[in-house]
Structure 1
Amino acid sequence: MHHLLRPHARHDLTDRPAPAVLAYPANDVLVVSGLPGSGKSTLMARCARTRVIDSQHTRQRFAAVLPGVPYALYRPLVRGAHYLRLHAALRAGGPLVVHDCGALPWVRRAIARAAHRQGRRLHLLLLDATAAQAADGQRRRGRRVSRYAFARHRRAGAALRALVTADAPLPAGVASVVLLPRASAARLAAIEFTAPCGRAAARPVNSQVAAGRRVPAPRLVAAPARTAAGAAANG
């Protein structure tokens, strides 16, 4: 069973069956946000079927060549290298999944502008975890953020979560927002980018909407009973 998601729409999956697949239009950009320790990197590594830009990968590479050096001392280098990789990936085109801490709105705005210039859309996937779940995730991975930083992330997360429940228009350049509970994330099998529907998909988003043409929308692919059970066992 396929549930089509309309462009410029919000989708709260809190009280809905966990999908097996999140499918987005080809060449679009998906930004995955959530609290530190909520499982963003794990979800992306397990489910993304395309190129992934994750700041944690950059951090791990620096940590490997700077053993014993406190992260605070080389954090600016990690961020700079991460943004350079992100810029190069956006310029290269094609479908892309991006890790976003959620606390820096200008990053999402920059991604949205870059995607729009190429006739692509930006989608948000919010991994919904409680503060306790995120704190436990930080303990499990062996990296904790300060109380101040965690409070800042929680405020940013609440603002992003409100995008799903509020009636106000979505931020400029954002085509859709999906709120995915952590339990459902554990059962998700794949994040895919499907083939575009006709030539109109290659045109800029605003031109398509203005022309009254249908823009390919992301869709949720519900899992058959056997697939769902298997995914639950693996989660």
Structure 2
Amino acid sequence: MRVGTAVLSSALFFAPPTPTADLAGPPEPLPAAARAPRGGSAPRGEPARLDPAEPDPTRVPHLALPRRAFVVVGGVPGAGKSTLLHRLRVTSPRGVFSVRDPEDIRTRWERLLGGRRAYRVWRPLVYAEHYLRLLLALPGRKTIVLHDTATRGWARRLLSIIARLSRRPAILLWLNVSLEESLDGQRIRGRKVPEKTVQQHWRRWSRLRPRTEDGERGYVAVHTITRDIARRIVVEPATRRR
């Protein structure tokens, strides 16, 4: 189905944040860098992954990204997406990544409004600006790293279409945490998600999580990492061939 740019833009402006679910199994090992054909998608049953578990906790895992990649960092609230994006922004050379995080916009709006309105009232403003900034970054040469919980299927598909229209390889980077880790992350950042919203997030994530190993249509690679790996991982553009 062909979708006009205007329809995509308007849909993006009001796209809500996305959710996640509790895990019964052990933490997911770090998946590996994708080597899929340029512009293609990871075939079902053969997702591009990182190599299995890191036996040495002092070893620094690396993830090399294709040039001008479109990276969606997904996971439940409190998983550590903003923490990873902040570290990426601080530690990466200038001019390499365009980091798109709605938490930055929310913080600025909170200062402007001085807490006089509940977040649910002005949240559409945050995400309208968030996705507007994303659209403006698409023509550039930097690798885009986007914060989005990405547990809604329509949102992942829409983002993959946006990536394809801008001729960028789309990559999913999931942060896989337990419910306890998620709640702990919310407490640390001082922003607790309402209980009803948390339940919705985890219901979606519990259905989605087993399928992340099968790849995702429209994405050249799907990577799943734990919070511990997210604290240490080095994300960098792949070196050019001479």
Q: TM bucket by the smaller chain?
A: 0.7 to 0.9
- CA distance in 2: counterparts of 1:6 and 1:110, whole angstroms: 23
The TM-score with structure 1 as length reference comes to 0.73
Q: Report what 1:193 is aligned to.
A: 237
Q: Report what 1:83 is aligned to.
A: 131
- CA distance in 2: counterparts of 1:4 and 1:95, whole angstroms: 15
What is the one-letter code of the residue matched to 2:160?
A
Cα shift at 1:91 = 3.5
Q: Report what 1:162 is aligned to.
A: 210
Cα shift at 1:29 = 0.8
- CA distance in 2: counterparts of 1:127 and 1:66, whole angstroms: 31
Assess, with a 3 A threshold, how the Cα gap between structure 1 residues 107 and 163 changes in structure 2: closer, same or farther: same
Cα shift at 1:159 = 4.0
Q: Of 211, 217, 230, which aligns to 1:172? A: 217
- CA distance in 2: counterparts of 1:165 and 1:33, whole angstroms: 14
What is the one-letter code of the residue matched to 1:172?
R
Question: Does 69-78 or 109-118 show the bigger shift?
Answer: 109-118
Within the alignment, does 1:15 sit opposite 2:62 as a pair? no
Cα shift at 1:197 = 4.7
Q: Report what 1:184 is aligned to.
A: 229
SS in structure 1 at match of 2:72: strand
Cα contact 1:31–1:97 (8 A) shared by 2? yes
Q: Report what 1:223 is aligned to.
A: none
What is the one-letter code of the residue matched to 1:150?
V
Cα contact 2:75–2:151 (8 A) shared by 1? no
Q: Report what 2:156 is aligned to.
A: 108
In structure 1, stretches of 5+ residues that fail to align are 199-235
Cα shift at 1:32 = 0.4
Higher strand share: 1
- CA distance in 1: counterparts of 2:82 and 2:199, whole angstroms: 20
Cα contact 1:123–1:175 (8 A) shared by 2? yes
Tell me how many residue pairs correspond in the alignment: 192
* 1:160-191 Cα deviation digits (max 9, x unpaired): 4223334xxx3331111111011222222x21
* 1:50-78 Cα deviation digits (max 9, x unpaired): 11001111111111101112211111111
SS in structure 2 at match of 1:11: coil
Within the alignment, does 1:136 sit opposite 2:184 as a pair? yes
What is the one-letter code of the residue matched to 2:237?
F
- CA distance in 2: counterparts of 1:162 and 1:98, whole angstroms: 23
Cα shift at 1:105 = 3.0
- CA distance in 1: counterparts of 2:33 and 2:163, whole angstroms: 22
Cα contact 1:25–1:196 (8 A) shared by 2? no
Written as runs of structure 1 = structure 2, the 5 A alignment for 1:45-56 is 45-48=86-89, 49=92, 50-56=97-103
The TM-score with structure 2 as length reference comes to 0.71
Q: Of 58, 66, 82, which aligns to 2:113? A: 66
- CA distance in 1: counterparts of 2:217 and 2:130, whole angstroms: 24
Q: Report what 1:42 is aligned to.
A: 83
SS in structure 2 at match of 1:179: strand
- CA distance in 2: counterparts of 1:144 and 1:87, whole angstroms: 29
Assess, with a 3 A threshold, how the Cα gap between structure 1 residues 160 and 94 changes in structure 2: closer, same or farther: farther
Over the matched positions of the two proteins, sequence identity in percent amounts to 33
Assess, with a 3 A threshold, how the Cα gap between structure 1 residues 22 and 160 changes in structure 2: closer, same or farther: farther
Q: Report what 2:13 is aligned to.
A: none
SS in structure 2 at match of 1:164: helix
